[in-house]
Amino acid sequence: MGSASAVSGRGREWLARRFAIDVRALAAFRILLGAILLSDLALRARNLRWFYTDAGVLPRSVLRATFPGYQYVSVHALSGAFWVQVLLFLLAGVAALALLAGFQTRIATVISLLFLLSLQARNPLVLNAGDVLLRRLLFWSVFLPLGAEWSLDRSQTASRERVVSVASAALLLQVVTLYAVNAALKLRASPWRDGTAVRYAFSLEQFLVLFGDVLADFPVVLMAATWGWLALLACSVLLVALTGRSRAAFVGLFVAAHLGMLLTLKLGLFPVICLAALLPFLPTAIWDAVERRAPALSMDRLRRRETTPLERRLPDALPSLGRQLGMGIVAVLLAGMLAFNAVSVAHVDAAGVDASTIAEHQHWSMFAPSPPKTDGWFVVPGTLTNGSRVDVLTQSPVRWAKPPDVSRRYPTARWRKYLARVESGEANRRAFARSLCRRWQRQHARPLDAVSVYYVAQPTRLTGPEPTRTRRLLTYECENETAATSGGATEF
């Protein structure tokens, strides 16, 4: 009996060391999550009319036809008016700011999650891997004490230095699972095995920013990066298997990789979201060092506010029965998530399921199973009533030659994601062309007769010339379109 108890105790201790999260790690995680949500809203707001109103590229009628059911889970889909979207963005920003500050943290987390789900459902065409990871991180965060430290919620009630629960395990395993699934998909593709995958990725000029152009000229470095990143992904289970300094060092490798992505590729907030996801893995020693270098953050030095009578009756934790029920739900969802990923990857090829199908369903493709091997750009010539022509996408003369900087044809990562999906259906193409007509009519006195949407594709060849081929996607008559009257003009 005693031996069994000792073994059980050692087992619990082994699990606790690997799935416990320092409350200061949760605090830093919360702060960065709040900052990411605010940044995401600010970045999306630049194209609010284009992506989230009926005057844009995905009117609610097209949303219903293309993604049936999505309108029922999106508050943003209740109205196509510009001012309604502005109001919803502002409310989401207030919730994100409360999360960042740690004010009514659990409520702020829930509200932020609901707004995020609603916003993502309003326009699935602009989503990427980072969006999926962000909503999953927010979901597991609902069950964790994000406001225990470095927050306005922090009270005189002493908090534990580490949190270990089903929810803490779920948060960590979510990240490991996504990395591991990505590794499994990439291992099935020859470009990752032969070391050319990152070279193909850096040949896509639409993705390159900052140091990306420079690094693209060093194939040996890119080959090393291919195998290095694949090795990290394949060994991602070590994020939970390791402890202490070895775990911190291994997390540091992932941090370096994502910082490299941030400095070379136009991936939106994806690298920053991944950095936030890695914070809970950092062990207590790291946060002790942080507090030594920033004494104002110390648990002992931070002034604890007095708890209110209401908080003493309803502490920042679920009641016992509710907490048990919540952890039970988390356990079921965690098991389901792990089982789904294991079964889906195991049945790729064996069950006739293509790896790219799983990658698309996971929305965690991240160049898996292999990077695209075709670069390209859009040309959208519009014919004016006087017979002259202009590229209505760039509002400049029509040019078919390759642009000096292809990435500038895609002003943001979301625009690139959207334009990559314009080919996915006739309704999307027509909505895109219609929105371009409307923008032109708002901004110019001379109306358009029609616009034609072309895609100029340039297949990647790692050696030798790369010829282009041009394909017309759509010709759209603009004569029946009138200028949108609500809201202000939003530039592309």
State the chain's mean pLDDT as an integer.
Answer: 84
pLDDT digits (tens, 9 = 90+) for 57-110: 999 999 999 899 999 999 999 999 999 999 999 999 999 999 999 999 999 999
**Structural domain spans, the chain:** 2-351, 374-477
Q: Other CB atoms closer than 10 Å to residue 79's CB: what's the count?
A: 15
pLDDT (0 to 100) of residue 420: 86
What pLDDT is recorded for position 410? Answer: 86
pLDDT confidence band for 170 (50 / 70 / 90): very high
| Whole-angstrom distance, CA of residue 294 vs CA of residue 301 | 11
Residues 6+ apart with CB under 8 A from 126: 51, 414, 415, 417, 418
Q: How far apart are CA 255 and CA 272, in angstroms?
A: 10
Task: Average the pLDDT over each of 82-91, 289-298, 346-355, 469-478 and give the range with the smallest value.
Answer: 346-355
Query: Residue 367 — pLDDT band, cuts 50, 70, 90?
Result: confident
3-state secondary structure 229-291: HHHHHHCCCHHHHCCHHHHHHHHHHHHHHHHHHHHHECCCCHHHHHHHHHHHHCCHHHHHHHH
Is beta strand 448-459 parallel, antiparallel or unpaired with respect to 389-391?
Answer: unpaired
Least reliable range by pLDDT among 89-93, 175-179, 354-358, 360-364: 354-358
3-state DSSP assignment of residue 4: helix
